Amino acid sequence: MPDSPKPSEAPEQPRNPLHGLTLEAMVLALQAHYGWDELGQRIPVRCFTHEPSVNSSLKFLRKTPWAREKVEGLYLFMLREIRRGAGRV
């Protein structure tokens, strides 16, 4: 019987830009790039608009799959935006 991956081992995803990235890293990068005000405008949830903090955002996002998907989508958009800007001189 060939060696099969153990259930605890995640399959490799070399083309997935979110692979191995923590939710905290995404929130920190988005906050650094957009700031809390613009982040709250782009994803209008209370954790970004009313007394925002990384800890309160993480607590909410871990319990709310639809909001986490929005954060992941905005993070991917930000990466594309940065790449496009880096290609220009």
64 and 72 Cβ atoms separated by less than 8 Å: no
Structure confidence at residue 73 (pLDDT)? 96
What pTM value is reported for the model? 0.78
Q: What is the mean pLDDT of residues 6-22?
A: 72
How confident is residue 24, by pLDDT bands cut at 50, 70 and 90? very high
Question: In 3D, which of 22, 39, 48, 46 has the Cα closest to residue 77?
Answer: 39
Rounded Cα–Cα distance for residues 61 and 75 (Å)? 14
* pLDDT for residue 60 is more than 90: yes
As a whole number, the mean pLDDT across the chain is 87
Domain boundaries, the chain: 23-87
CATH number, domain 23-87: 1.10.720.30
